[in-house]
Amino acid sequence: MPLKLKINSTFLLTAIGILLLGVVFFSEWIYSSQRCKEINIIIETENEHRLLEKSDIRSLVSPSTVEGPVGKTYKNINLKKIEERVLSNKLVKSCQVHRGLSGELTVDVEEYKPIARVVTALNDGTVNSYVTEKGDFIGISESYTPRVLLLSGNYFESNKNLKEVKSKPLLELIQAINGDEFWKAQITQLVVEKDGGVTLIPEVGKHVIEFGMALEIEDKFRKLKIFYKKILSTKGWNAYSKVSVKYRNQIVCE
């Protein structure tokens, strides 16, 4: 290769590299110096109605004029800090904050879908909280009250979530009820004793169901279906005050 051509090629590559670096730095300068024009909030939910209102999120994104992002350059906006403030609301499952192409600050929020609600009065106060599929207690919504399975009883004096190993059977019982159309419609409440024993409160009928420990769940519901299909269908829905399936291979009616 002639020396002149080699020098020209080197110069051209160097010039292109400098140009690209200039574009990168210029783009970064444009990005960081651009001001936030507005806040755009998006709430994703699996619930029939949202547990959170946009105003709930906006108050966390911009708690005051001083801390609010609108009007500030993006180099002076801490997106991570905004995400942390939004996640401080326990109804929020996840949050991502990013800058839109036209300068708006977009806040993408996903809220939890409750599977149950703890409602029980204790000596040191009332526990009133939704339960997530992983067993977390996340408080309640000021905007909407979803129809979910109610939980009460002394069990919640010492258990402030259902994430511990000992609470796994109870969480599985809740999921089994929610996963069956008949039981989801028929069972409205679980009363859980301190030792973990469960009593089911049905929607229809004057009886209560002594379920016992949240073990052998499938077998116990199989026996309960026999009770509903073969016994109550002939005796009537109000014939018994209590039915027990806590004992293996037995259905005890009173």
Query: Rounded mean pLDDT of 98-127?
Result: 85
Q: Mark whether 65 and 166 lie in a shared domain.
A: no
Kindly report, residue by residue over 176-235, the tens digit of the pLDDT: 999 999 999 999 999 999 999 999 999 988 889 999 999 999 999 999 988 888 887 777
How many domains is the chain built from? Answer: 2
Rounded Cα gap, residues 77 and 70, in angstroms? 9
Domain around 231 = 116-253
pLDDT at 158 over 70: yes
Rounded to whole angstroms, what are the CA distances from 12 to 18, 25, 33, 210, 243?
10, 20, 31, 84, 88
Q: Are residues 120 and 241 in the same domain?
A: yes
pLDDT at 23: 46
Alpha carbon distance 163, 138 (integer Å): 13
31 inside domain:
no
Residues 121 and 210 in one domain: yes
- What would the mean pLDDT of 99-106 be, rounded to a whole number? 85
- Contact in structure between 108 and 95 (CB atoms under 8 Å): yes
Last residue of a domain, one of 111, 127, 153: 111
- Domain boundary (111, 138, 153) is at 111
CA distance 71 to 79: 15
Domain-terminating residue out of 111, 143, 159: 111
Q: What is the pLDDT of residue 5?
A: 45
7 in a structural domain:
no
Classify residue 154: in a domain, yes or no.
Answer: yes
Domain annotation covers residue 34 = no
DSSP-derived pairing of the beta strands 242-244 and 208-212: parallel
CA 197 – CA 215 distance, rounded (Å): 10
Give the per-residue pLDDT at 228. 84
What CATH number is associated with residue 55?
3.10.20.310
Q: pLDDT tens-digit profile of 71-93?
A: 888 888 899 999 999 999 999 99
Residues 31-71 have pLDDT tens digits of: 667 888 999 999 999 888 899 999 999 999 998 878 889 98
* pLDDT tens digit sequence for 137-155: 999 998 888 899 999 999 9
Are 212 and 120 within one domain? yes
Q: Which helix (H) or strand (E) holds 192?
A: strand 187-192
Q: What is the per-residue burial (b if ≥16 Cβ within 10 Å, else e) of 222-248?
A: ebbeebbeeebeeeeeeebeebbbbee
2 within domain boundaries: no
133 and 248 together in one domain: yes
List the CATH number of the domain containing 234: 3.40.50
pTM of the model: 0.80
**Which among 174, 98, 182 has a CA at the least distance from the CA of 131?**
174
Q: What is residue 221's three-state secondary structure?
A: helix
- Asked if residue 172 is part of any domain, the answer here is yes
- Rounded CA-CA distance 121/139 in Å is 15
Q: Is there a single domain that holds both residue 212 and residue 132?
A: yes
> Is residue 148 assigned to a domain?
yes
- On whether both 247 and 135 belong to a single domain, the answer is yes
